[in-house]
Structure 1
Amino acid sequence: MSDSSPSLPPSLNVLGEPLEVCGCQPMTGWFRDGHCRTNAADLGRHSVCCVVTEAFLRYSAAQGNDLSTPAPAYDFPGLQPGDHWCVCAPRWLEAYEDGMAPPVRLEATEDSALDVISLELLRANAA
């Protein structure tokens, strides 16, 4: 596995197992390695692996984070419903509270998300 941050220990998911890949098309994650793993530099905590929905994409854009529009300067093709994407844990919780949270892939959600979101809530919204 190519790893852009070799100093990071292996991450675990919210189930206490090795963290699985969230998505590679488009490439996601704080480290853009397909994994929803974070470190102290990731102030947004991109730890929740989601299957994005049209409703969430509209919601995110309304919050000032347009994930649908391509940004070629950042090699970002824009997301489509059904894509797998690492979402910031606080943003996912906010979307949940507003009734717009996308489904979560527990196997690919880093255990650090549990600092923000309960396992029960994540399980209730599992893909």
Structure 2
Amino acid sequence: MSFVEPVKAESKNVLGQPMQTCGCDPMTGFYRDGCCDTGPDDIGVHTVCCVVTEEFLAVSKHLGNDLMTPMPQYGFPGLKPGDRWCVCAARWLQVFEAGAACPVVLEATHENTLSIVPFELLLQHAVIPDKLH
């Protein structure tokens, strides 16, 4: 008798489609696999695929979430404007409310984001992935 691993359900993005990769340079995602996937261990809900801007990074740091300073002990390189990163949904919303939202890649933003951030807000800040490079 052979053991067959259970098939993991494919994650969906906020458009109801299969998730796309957010970014691999630097390697992002709660699981550091390039995707804004989530699971029971992801208490912060790192599900919003962002293209971070200087303003977003500065306001986020001011609000207590420093994404610019490298923390090698956590495998975190520190971000610079233009990097694509899986941001906590509540943090993205907090920075949005402070007037400094950054662009979002809907195709790489996990559907669980919608329990925290209204789709309309994400849509207002959406960018088309091919236009990023």
TM-score calculated relative to the size of structure 2: 0.86
Matched length = 122
Please tell me whether residue 22 in structure 1 is matched to residue 27 in structure 2: no
Instruction: Give the C-alpha shift of residue 7 in structure 1.
Output: 7.2
CA displacement, residues 100-125 of structure 1 (integer Å, 9 cap, x when unaligned)? 11110000000000111111111111
Q: Which residue of 2 aligns with 1:56?
A: 56
Q: Which residue of 2 aligns with 1:3?
A: none
In the alignment, residue 57 of structure 1 is paired with which amino acid? L
Q: SS at the partner of 2:99? A: coil
CA distance in 2, matches of 1:91, 1:7: 32
Instruction: Give the C-alpha shift of residue 76 in structure 1.
Output: 2.0
Instruction: Give the C-alpha shift of residue 25 in structure 1.
Output: 0.6
Q: SS at the partner of 1:48? A: strand
CA displacement, residues 7-66 of structure 1 (integer Å, 9 cap, x when unaligned)? 752100000110000001111111010000111221110000000000111111112221
CA distance in 2, matches of 1:24, 1:74: 16
In the alignment, residue 28 of structure 2 is paired with which amino acid? T
Q: Which residue of 2 aligns with 1:77?
A: 77
CA distance in 1, matches of 2:15, 2:64: 31
Larger gyration radius, structure 1 or structure 2: 2
Q: SS at the partner of 1:87? A: strand
CA distance in 2, matches of 1:108, 1:67: 19
Q: Which residue of 1 aligns with 2:9?
A: 9
State how 1:29-48 maps to structure 2 within 5 Å.
Answer: 29-48=29-48
In the alignment, residue 37 of structure 1 is paired with which amino acid? D
Which stretch has the larger CA shift, 92-101 or 104-113?
92-101
Q: SS at the partner of 2:79? A: coil
Q: Which residue of 2 aligns with 1:100?
A: 100
In the alignment, residue 65 of structure 1 is paired with which amino acid? N
In the alignment, residue 19 of structure 1 is paired with which amino acid? M
TM-score calculated relative to the size of structure 1: 0.90
Following superposition, which runs of at least 4 residues in structure 1 exceed 4 angstroms of deviation?
none
Cα separation, partners in 2 of 1:8 and 1:44, compared to 1, 3 Å? farther
In the alignment, residue 10 of structure 1 is paired with which amino acid? E
Give RMSD over aligned pairs.
Answer: 1.4
Q: Which residue of 1 aligns with 2:87?
A: 87
In the alignment, residue 46 of structure 1 is paired with which amino acid? H
Query: Percent identity of the aligned residues?
Result: 57
Cα separation, partners in 2 of 1:89 and 1:7, compared to 1, 3 Å? farther
Uncovered stretches (5+) of structure 2, i.e. residues with no partner: 1-5, 128-133
